[in-house]
A = this chain, B = another copy of it.
Amino acid sequence: MRAVDADEKVDRQARILDAVLRLLSLQGISGVSMRAVARAAGVSLGLVNYYYEDKTSLIRAALHRIEEQDIALVEPDPALEPEERLRAALKRVADPEFLTTEYLSLRLQLWALAQAHEDFERINTEAQERYRAGLAELIRAARPGLPRGECDRRAADINVIQNGLWLTALLGLDHASIGRSVARCEEIALAE
């Protein structure tokens, strides 16, 4: 059982952060207490405070973790042509891998947190802007003739629909309207 032991021991800090994300997604911020996090991560209360100065920095770390995932969504896939690259990125947001209740609920909780806490709002806004810029860049690569302003506009419009798509997927489960919305995003992005 060496490997399992090692797995369980390695990087307790990461396991603590995982536990935060899990609890936040399932129970909301009310369910995230230092003790609950410690319990869910299988470590002692003291260790949570050892790795994270206080609760605020713990949540902040969770926010940054989600931010990385968001940016990865518009990371260009180098194996594809520009247009297919864009299509792939647009489809990725409706991928079952990302459209899980756990992930979407987590996003929602973080957005809710951003509303209540100025510090978190800044992190969130920056992430949103980086995402939108990445999307605009993908459009520009796929439609080189478009002026930059038009690319930004399209990225913004797509962003609106994608946000709605995520929210709708979370609140109800209307798969058909999600598919149609992805198609609508492609239309907006690739119009000549």
What per-residue 1/0 map shows which CB atoms of A93-116 lie under 8 Å from chain B?
000000000000100110111111
Query: What's the dominant secondary structure at chain A's contact region?
Result: helix
Residues of B within 8 A of A117 (CB): 28
- Which one of A40-48, A63-71, A169-177 is at the interface? A169-177
Number of copies: 2
Query: Which A residues lie at the B interface, using CB under 8 A?
Result: 25-31, 105, 108-109, 111-117, 124-125, 128-129, 153, 156-157, 159-165, 167-168, 170-172, 174, 176-178, 180-181, 184
A163 to B166, CA, bound (A): 9
Decide: A160 and B164 in contact? CB cutoff 8 A. Answer: yes
A183 CB to closest chain B CB, in angstroms? 10
Decide: A162 and B159 in contact? CB cutoff 8 A. Answer: no
A103 to B113, CA, bound (A): 15
CB-contact partner of A172 in B28, B125, B178, under 8 A: B125
